[in-house]
Amino acid sequence: MYIAFAFAGIVGILTQCKFQIPVGLDYFLLYLSLFNEGLLFYTHAGRVSTLDQYIHYILLIPIFSGAVCSLLEVWLRNNPVLELFRTSMFITQGTWMWQIGYVLYPLWEAPSWDHNDQKTLSFMAMCYCWHCQSTVLFLSIIYGIVYWFLRSQKGGFEGTENEIQKFNQDDTKTYTALLDGSDEE
């Protein structure tokens, strides 16, 4: 799992350094890494207690959602909605792993969770919803701060449209250069 993420990260860095790497390979490798991680957690969850199994199955929601989002980004690059969704799934995955650690390995003298109680399972589902909503709130606050900062800068948003167009044109030239030697048109 770690090797797959490391390889996806290296290809992502090389893509940003303008190496001639096939378009979408970075997101495809991220998809494969997330799918690999989800498969490992799925097979792990079959050998443990009911609560442990349940919270690991809940973890599969952000993992596979992020994988599907990354696969969509292979073809729909620079889509802000997909990028925000993928980011929210990564943050939710991380906070939910902290929750799993707290539930399975309580701190010091804290009482242990009842691994076979249905109320505990319902509470864990509610906790997951809190994690998702907290992530949305966090990203909204960050968006608001960045928006306020950009608005307060000298000149506001002037020139940003031209910069975005220039970026997209440069990006297209890179992709076109990759296709020059192929049969695609």
Domain count, the chain: 1
Q: Which of residues 108 and 61 earns the better pLDDT score? A: 61
Instruction: Give the number of other CB atoms < 10 A from CB of residue 99.
Output: 18
Give the pLDDT confidence score for residue 163 in this predicted structure: 56
Query: Model pTM?
Result: 0.75
Give the pLDDT confidence score for residue 154 in this predicted structure: 62
Q: Is residue 102 part of a domain?
A: yes
* Nearest alpha-carbon partner for 61 in 85, 79, 84: 85
Give the pLDDT confidence score for residue 87 in this predicted structure: 93
pLDDT by residue (tens digit) across 87-128? Answer: 999 999 999 999 998 888 888 777 788 888 889 899 999 999
Q: List the domain range (segments joined by +) for residue 123.
A: 2-178
Q: Is residue 111 part of a domain?
A: yes
Q: Is residue 184 part of a domain?
A: no
